[in-house]
Amino acid sequence: MPVIVVANPKGGVGKSTLATNLAGAFARQGHAVMLGDVDRQQSSRHWLALRPPQLPPIRGWEVDAQEIARPPKGTTHVVLDTPAGLHGKRLDAVLKVADRLLIPLQPSLFDIQATHAFVAEVRAHKRADRVQFAVVGMRVREGTIAGEQLHRYLNALGLPVLGYLRDTQNYVQLAARGLTLWDVAPSRVERDLPQWQPLLDWVAA
């Protein structure tokens, strides 16, 4: 059962956008996918509660009487969203279960600085050699100075870069209805779907 963790200690970089749409892609492929949050607040449940029941199912944690959260029985793929400020024991717990770590990053100096420190922390972690990790550029506007700066930074980072997702209201509008790119007509998101293919190839490899 592959466990893909989406993590960056900086808030607002697109972790939930990446996690929900990845879960949606798995669901559309017919996998029994669970979308969870390592935060006690289980904020992913809010998005799951909006998801129309006729769509390919995405399940959340099952929490027993002892308040222990586990993937539902039969789960084949797990996507974990993570809260801001992921360090220390929380990072230890995440890397203990992760097979792959996706690091979203948007073109902002503050986000780049925070991500640089996080990547250094992950690389120095005792479990780093057991987890494959890669970066995804988020909310990128091609042809902008910020976009070019992000390209240069990621090229020098020494990590696999799976692509750049464009800055579009599609993600915002779909999230508000519990939807993903794979839940609407392909013509509506025809510019977005190809940007996801390298990422999907990487998690499936």
The residue range of the domain holding 171 is 3-204
d(C-alpha 136, C-alpha 144), whole Å: 17
Sequence-distant (6+) residues with CB within 8 A of 156 are none
Q: Which of 25-29, 36-40, 46-50, 151-155 has the highest mean pLDDT?
A: 25-29
10 by DSSP, 3-state: which?
Answer: coil
195 by DSSP, 3-state: which?
Answer: helix
Contact 15, 105 (CB under 8 A): no
| pLDDT for 183 | 97
Looking at the structure of the chain, the number of domains it has is: 1
Residue-wise pLDDT for 104-150, tens only, equals 999 988 888 888 889 999 999 998 899 999 999 999 988 888 888 88
Residue-wise pLDDT for 30-68, tens only, equals 999 999 987 666 667 889 999 999 999 999 887 655 445
pLDDT band at 69 (very low <50, low <70, confident <90, very high): low
Strands 69-70 vs 62-63: parallel, antiparallel or unpaired: antiparallel
CA atoms within a 13 Å half-sphere pointing along the CA-CB vector of 59: 18
Contact 144, 107 (CB under 8 A): yes
Which range among 48-57, 82-91, 138-147, 171-180 shows the weakest confidence by mean pLDDT?
82-91
- Helix ranges (DSSP H) in the chain: 15-28, 44-50, 88-97, 109-124, 145-157, 169-175, 193-204
pTM: predicted TM-score of the whole model, two decimal places: 0.93
Hey, how many other C-beta atoms are within 10 angstroms of the C-beta on 99? 14
The CATH number linked to 47 is 3.40.50.300
